[in-house]
Amino acid sequence: MLKELSVVIPLYNKEHTIKNTVETLLKSNIAEKLQLIIVENGSTDNSLQRANLTINDLSNNYDVEILISKKGKGNAIRAAIPFLKHEWCFVTGADLPFGLSEIDEFLIDNYKHDLYLGSKGHPNSEIKRKLTRVFYSYIFYLFRKLFLKMEFLDPHGSMIVKSKYLQEIQPVLTQEEFFIDTEIVFLLNKLEIKILEIPIKLINDDPHTTVKPLQDGLKILKETVKLGFKNN
């Protein structure tokens, strides 16, 4: 068990999962001191209301707060960083897609690294992906390797990172959407901290996903090239 952990949960159109995610984390006993930061970012369903109802049903013994940001995962994460209280930060989805498999792998490593990437590309990950998604991921990898000099297989899973490093790079974070993951890993890699990719297990394959593989994929390629040229 960790001594302390802050969990950042970007919340967008997940009214059907946020209650279960909060309850799962609070009942997990993954840390002696646990902080949950839910960041609602432009949902068009009842995500915010459901999150508020969930929090209102909790006792005062839990450290859970809801923030509001502009739409976009990047905006949500950037809004949460100033509120991190604990040494380690776990960034995950509002549907807790990989359960707590990343935490298990993190504890096995005994905190030897500074950033842990829950990687869908790890050979030991238990992920079923369509061939098209595998192909897209390989193209993304080649672009990251060429333009960003990054060898990581997948920076877009989840992450466990020392909060102080997120706070250090916060002033230069600019991404508003899902490319924030790559931007964070790229900037932290430049700091030469210890980074480890760890396997994950897909627990919740949400049928209500808002990901658009082709459209979002093209955005990732575009932002990869821009980030590379910006930092050359």
In degrees and rounded to multiples of 5, residue 47 shows phi and psi of: -60, -45
Residue 208: is its pLDDT beyond 80? no
Q: For residue 73, what are the CA distances in angstroms to 32, 92, 114, 134?
A: 27, 11, 22, 23
Q: Is residue 38 part of a domain?
A: yes
Domain containing residue 45: CATH number? 3.90.550.10
Compute the CA torsion angle 89, 94, 99, 100 (nearest 10 deg): 10
Average pLDDT, the chain: 92
Cα 175 from chain centre: 14
Residues of the domain holding 37: 2-125+154-204
Residue 58 lies in a domain: yes
Q: What does the pLDDT look like over 4-38, one tens digit per residue? A: 999 999 999 999 999 999 999 999 989 999 999 99
On the question of pLDDT at 207 being above 70, the answer is no
**Average confidence (pLDDT) over 143-167:** 94
Which tokens go with 92?
């995950």
Contact residues for 38 (Cβ-Cβ < 8 A; gap 6+): 9, 11, 18, 22, 51, 55, 64, 65, 66, 67, 94
Domain count, the chain: 1
Domain membership of residue 140 (yes or no) is: no
pLDDT digits (tens, 9 = 90+) for 59-94: 778 999 999 999 999 999 999 999 999 999 999 999
